[in-house]
Structure 1
Amino acid sequence: MPGPNQITPAQLMRLIGLPDAPAIVDVRIPEDIAADPRLIPGSVVRPHDSFDPATATLAGKRVIVVCQKGRKLSEGVAALLRAQSIEAQILEGGSTAWADAALPMIPLSAYPKTNLWVTRHRPKIDRIACPWLIRRFIDPTARFLFVTPSEVQSVAERFDATPFDIEDTFFSHRDDTCTFDTFLTEFALHTAPLRRLATVVRAADTDRHDLSPQAAGLLAISVGLSRQYRDDLEQLAVGLTLYDALYRWARDGHDEGHDWPAGRAQ
């Protein structure tokens, strides 16, 4: 049973991916990170010995602190946060317990050098689904630029941004999969709920509705949102809530049907 200021790996995994997920701060020393250069999804790395909550934009957030074994470094940083009226817990057993539980971890080598991403304007499916995945599981601070298709590569070069969902880029469609699938592969995020969600996204984005009965609905809603919002960032903000709901369906509700009134004549 976890202590009063602890959370288990299984409990934390249930929170990751949700819009109100806690901030996860990895305070492992460089040697420990070098021994296992992977991060818990959604976490950020901060040095324990120069940690300043005031500059970490953690005010008003629930924080989970992670070190290698869930001992002195986590305890100290979490106590420092609580002393500044920030709700903070430590991950029981640290990153070692997380890895031992075979929970998803993102290779540090997969992260781009900045948190800025760029893609084509007027998004529909992949270009909303991928930002959702990045914000919820990879980098909560990620920023997105939507520009004229012909200018994506030039903007990426000039503004040090990572392009996605355009031809001839690393983060794009591969064979018969879509860009969302590519992100799952490159960031080692093949959990059962995300694989289930990926099938729906792929089916809708590649117009293969035979792959998923939910695809036609996702396409209809995505087209409707694109017609409703002229501003791509406004559409993204609304679209994030759509994928929040789809993720909860994929995680908890995919077996649920709806029949009302019950027992009606066939």
Structure 2
Amino acid sequence: MASPAEITIQQLNRLIGTPAAPMIIDARIEADFDEDPRVIPSAIRHPHDSTETLLNQINDRSVVVYCQKGHKISQGMAALLRSYGVKAEFLQGGQMGWASNNSPLVEWTKIPLNANGHSLWVTRHRPKIDRIACPWLIRRFVDAKAQFLFVAPDEVMNVATKFNATPFDIEDVFWSHRDEFCTFDVMVKEFGLNIEALKELANVIRSADTNRHDLAPQAAGLLAFSVGMSRMFREDIVQLDKSMLLYDALFRWARDGMNESHDWPTSKG
């Protein structure tokens, strides 16, 4: 009989990348992690023997814990969290079950975590498309606590050095355009996010960001929304926060709604 505290791979897969996604905790021991240093998208690493230290980070979110196979470590950690009133589940099959299902996994070594346990990124101010889409991707699939700095173009590298931040979407850095691909494409590939909806979304973003609207008819609409959002908000961080919903909607369209159309119904008999 399935445990009432168990979540299936399929159920968790449907939540990842959406605002309803739980906080995901990789509780594998170091030896198991070293065998496969990839994590489920947006997961944090946390040892099972210091579970209580997580409580001030959860902030009323639901939690999914996983270990190597979904047995004693994840079930015990989830049970301990529930004893503190947290809505916590463990992943059926653990990391091995997730991987064998060909579900997406993020290369842990690619995530530029700092001493505070989250990533800090810097790019040019007044973002439009790529510089909003990339932070959305990072927060939804890589690091939910990621921070973003928007500064003058000629100060990006200086700020990166002084604040130990990772530069993106500028020339001559790792996280940037490559050939015909934009920075969003690069992040999807480098993080190992083999998700069909993200590939579809990447096509739209690339089309809008590189002014090649022939690649995707939705690009003109994305450009219009992006320019409008940049005019509505003076503060770049506020613009990013408000734009998260736009990319959430585009992701759901790419995942579930691409075949839906709309016209004007008539009642002529």
TM-score bracket, shorter-length normalisation: over 0.9
The match for 1:35 is 35
Task: Kindly indicate whether the alpha-carbon contact (under 8 Å) linking 1:26 and 1:43 is maintained by their aligned counterparts in 2.
Answer: yes
What is the rounded CA distance, in whole Å, between the counterparts of 1:10 and 1:159 in structure 2?
39
What is the rounded CA distance, in whole Å, between the counterparts of 2:110 and 2:23 in structure 1?
20
Task: Kindly indicate whether the alpha-carbon contact (under 8 Å) linking 2:51 and 2:81 is maintained by their aligned counterparts in 1.
Answer: no
Equivalences for residues 186-265 of structure 1 within 5 A: 186-262=190-266
The match for 1:165 is 169
Q: CA deviation at 1:56?
A: 4.9
Equivalences for residues 44-83 of structure 1 within 5 A: 44-83=44-83
Alpha carbons of structure 1 residues 2 and 16: separation in structure 2 relative to 1, 3 Å = farther
SS in 1 for 2:230: helix
Task: Kindly indicate whether the alpha-carbon contact (under 8 Å) linking 1:2 and 1:92 is maintained by their aligned counterparts in 2.
Answer: no
Match of 1:135 among 133, 139, 142: 139
SS in 2 for 1:211: coil
Q: CA deviation at 1:109?
A: 1.7
What is the rounded CA distance, in whole Å, between the counterparts of 1:101 and 1:129 in structure 2?
28
Please identify runs of 4+ aligned residues in structure 1 that moved more than 6 A.
none
For 1:199-231, what per-residue CA distance to the aligned partner results, in whole angstroms no more than 9, with x for missing partners?
000000000000000000000010011111111
Q: CA deviation at 1:110?
A: 1.1
SS in 1 for 2:122: strand
Task: Kindly indicate whether the alpha-carbon contact (under 8 Å) linking 2:229 and 2:239 is maintained by their aligned counterparts in 1.
Answer: yes
SS in 2 for 1:209: coil
The more displaced of 54-63 and 192-201 is 54-63
Q: CA deviation at 1:261?
A: 2.3
The match for 1:183 is 187
The match for 2:91 is 91
For 1:165-221, what per-residue CA distance to the aligned partner results, in whole angstroms no more than 9, with x for missing partners?
001110000000100000001001121100000000000000000000000000001
Task: Kindly indicate whether the alpha-carbon contact (under 8 Å) linking 1:123 and 1:232 is maintained by their aligned counterparts in 2.
Answer: yes
SS in 2 for 1:64: strand
Alpha carbons of structure 1 residues 191 and 77: separation in structure 2 relative to 1, 3 Å = same
Task: Kindly indicate whether the alpha-carbon contact (under 8 Å) linking 1:119 and 1:145 is maintained by their aligned counterparts in 2.
Answer: yes
Task: Kindly indicate whether the alpha-carbon contact (under 8 Å) linking 2:26 and 2:66 is maintained by their aligned counterparts in 1.
Answer: yes
Equivalences for residues 96-111 of structure 1 within 5 A: 96-111=96-111
For 1:100-139, what per-residue CA distance to the aligned partner results, in whole angstroms no more than 9, with x for missing partners?
0000101122111321000000000000000000000000
CA RMSD of the aligned region, Å? 1.3
Alpha carbons of structure 1 residues 154 and 55: separation in structure 2 relative to 1, 3 Å = farther
Task: Kindly indicate whether the alpha-carbon contact (under 8 Å) linking 2:184 and 2:202 is maintained by their aligned counterparts in 1.
Answer: yes
For 1:219-247, what per-residue CA distance to the aligned partner results, in whole angstroms no more than 9, with x for missing partners?
00100111111110110011111000000
Task: Kindly indicate whether the alpha-carbon contact (under 8 Å) linking 2:208 and 2:223 is maintained by their aligned counterparts in 1.
Answer: yes
The match for 1:148 is 152
The match for 2:24 is 24
Alpha carbons of structure 1 residues 263 and 31: separation in structure 2 relative to 1, 3 Å = farther
What is the rounded CA distance, in whole Å, between the counterparts of 1:141 and 1:72 in structure 2?
28
The match for 2:8 is 8
For structure 2, which runs of at least 5 residues remain unmatched after alignment?
none
Task: Kindly indicate whether the alpha-carbon contact (under 8 Å) linking 1:2 and 1:8 is maintained by their aligned counterparts in 2.
Answer: no
What is the rounded CA distance, in whole Å, between the counterparts of 1:141 and 1:59 in structure 2?
13
